[in-house]
Amino acid sequence: MHYDNIKEGRFESRPNRFIAYVTIDGRREKVHVKNTGRCRELLTENALVYLSKSNNPLRSTSYDLVAVQKSHRIINMDSQSPNKAVEEWLKAGGLFPDVKLVRPEMTYHSSRLDFYVETPEDKIFIEVKGVTLEQEDVVLFPDAPSERALKHINELIEAAGEGYKAYVLFVIQMEKVKCFTPNRKTQPEFATALLRAKQAGVKILAFDCKVTPDSMVIHEPVPVRLSLLEAVAEPLLKWYDLVKRILPWRGEPTPYRVWVSEIMLQQTRVEAVKPYYDRFMRALPDISHLAQAEEDELLKLWEGLGYYNRVRNLKKAAQIIMEEYGGVMPSEYEELLRLPGIGSYTAGAISSIACGKREPAVDGNVLRILARLEGDERDISSQSVRTQVEEKVRQAIPKQRPGDFNQALMELGATVCIPTGAPHCGECPWKGFCIAHLTDRELDYPYKAKKKPRTVEEKTVLIIRDESRAALRQRPKKGLLAGMYEFPCLEGHLSEEEVLDYLREKEGLLVLKIEALQRSKHIFTHKEWHMIGYAVKVDELAEKRKDSDLIFVERQEARERYPIPSAYHAYLQNFLS
């Protein structure tokens, strides 16, 4: 489409939606604005604007404001130009080479849709939306809430259901943009409607335009990112490339190394995991070694990381891999889920990071940052919400860099959009998109239903020593801290007299000295241990009862051989010091 008699001017002000004041050749002129939208980011003071002179001498304004210069590009802001440009394009076979009929303004049910098109095979409805809002080369629609636009989307969904082909065509009234995404901040309902439309079979397209001061022509397709996450993938990956941490498991991301690191990182900080990971890899460098490891060796390697069923499941899974997969870890997400101890997050991490599959790896970090990004007030502890977020991430994962994308999400949650305290929004690649940040509500997200309070259990821990050894006993093979070794641990907070009675009657030990130790507390997922302790000196020549399950070990053995839970850290240090 083309304009006649274009004149340059400088924008001054816009007192209402329909008129503006500009300076043309040194004189102040009232002009008609051919766009009733806000356009605040375009019509800034002294902006270079382009005006089309009217041929109607009876008009109160002699010019129409049709385009504006913004940075390096001209943006057409005439709200009538998208339909005119699309009509010319359609008739020239731009979208459908075998087009038979192009009819503007066709009534369908209670709406007038922009175009009805026929080809030899199809009957087609098209709704056109002009786009002028641009942020960092990403274009968005709408710039203000539009019930009319929402109604049109719903009508297209109905048309698709009745057998018509249906299209939403976003005409980007500028050139060389990165992608289009719906403006969730302005109208989240429209973004949701577009997703529903896509699922119903409506095609969502976007094309940029070659724009000059006196023309606008449909040019090239623009990527459509219907979810906000799709739209912000590129800045996220650029940020990750610049700031990603050097971690031992990232240098050589084989399936085994990724698997072990992700299991260790559950509920544990990265810095705390590093030495455990290095030690584990030296002792058990591959799946074969892991499958053959003795349980006591495994538990000792894991000592201090907690959640010991994790390492037991590692071994069970390794044995299955050796028996059923010939020692080669499967790469497919569904196959990985069959292995003990591997849930959706770990399966996604292995298949994407090590095998290049487009699978999501959604943990608490990812749930938190996406809740803030989208202003999502749903309960992230809900399994249905997690499932929906996983699917959203799966749709957004770039084909070329699935593993990097998942790791970038993890990195952002670990280093910038942190779980405790204020997030470091100034360092965030999403600060221009994040709804929580843009509304100053970062700490309101995510929402998580309150957990039941942990139960508190009182314990009395005994460091029973002779001249060089201390007593340990092995915990039951099932249950909390299964199979680990512990100092004798009695229920309740016992007095010295009660401890002495127990040692004499239950263990048959002769006590030479007893003294109280410091209190300690350890927090498990669903319970807390509140512990008191006693250091008990016993006669090394005295014989314990034959039915006692106590074993006496040297300091070096306690350090190197026997896996002792971190719950007893304070009391272990008393023995080792």
How confident is the chain (577 residues) per 10-residue block, as mean pLDDT?
A: 94 94 96 87 94 91 95 94 97 95 92 95 96 91 91 95 96 94 87 90 97 97 89 92 95 95 92 95 96 93 88 96 96 96 96 96 95 92 92 90 97 95 95 90 91 91 90 90 91 94 87 93 91 90 67 89 90 87
pTM, to two decimals: 0.66
Contact yes or no for 470/558 (Cβ under 8 A): yes
DSSP state of 506: I
How much helix, strand and coil, in percent to the nearest 5, is found in the chain? Answer: 35, 25, 40
The one catalytic residue among 262, 374, 486, 507: 262
- Residue 546: the pLDDT is 66
Residues whose CB falls within 8 Å of the CB of residue 114, separated by 6 or more in sequence, listed in order:
83, 86, 104, 105, 126, 127, 128
Query: Between the CA of residue 221 and those of 204, 224, 234, what are the distances in Å?
Result: 11, 9, 18
Look at residues 291, 281, 288 and name the one whose alpha carbon lies nearest to residue 257: 281
Q: Give dist(CA 374, CA 377) in Å, integer.
A: 9
- Residue 509: the pLDDT is 86
Query: Measured at the alpha carbon of residue 433, what is the angle toward residues 431 and 437, in degrees to the nearest 5?
Result: 55
* Residue found by looking up tokens 């939606």 in the block: 17
Residue 373: phi, psi to the nearest 5?
-55, -45
Strand partners, 169: 128, 205
- Residue 544: the pLDDT is 61
Active site residue 158: no
* Residue found by looking up tokens 């201090």 in the block: 304
Residue 417 has a CB neighbour count (10 Å cut-off) of 28
| Contacts of range 194-201, beta carbons closer than 8 Å, 24 or more positions apart | 194/153, 194/168, 194/226, 195/226, 195/227, 196/153, 196/157, 197/153, 197/156, 197/157, 197/160, 197/166, 197/168, 198/226, 200/157, 200/160, 200/161, 201/160, 201/161, 201/166
- Residue 471 is encoded by which pair of tokens? 């007593």
How far does CA 132 lie from the centroid of its chain? Answer: 29
Contact yes or no for 506/532 (Cβ under 8 A): no
- Residue 545: the pLDDT is 64
> Omega into 142 within 30° of 0, i.e. cis?
yes
Query: Between the CA of residue 453 and those of 29, 73, 250, 268, 520, what are the distances in Å?
Result: 70, 58, 37, 21, 19
Q: Give dist(CA 422, CA 418) in Å, integer.
A: 7
- Residue 320: the pLDDT is 97
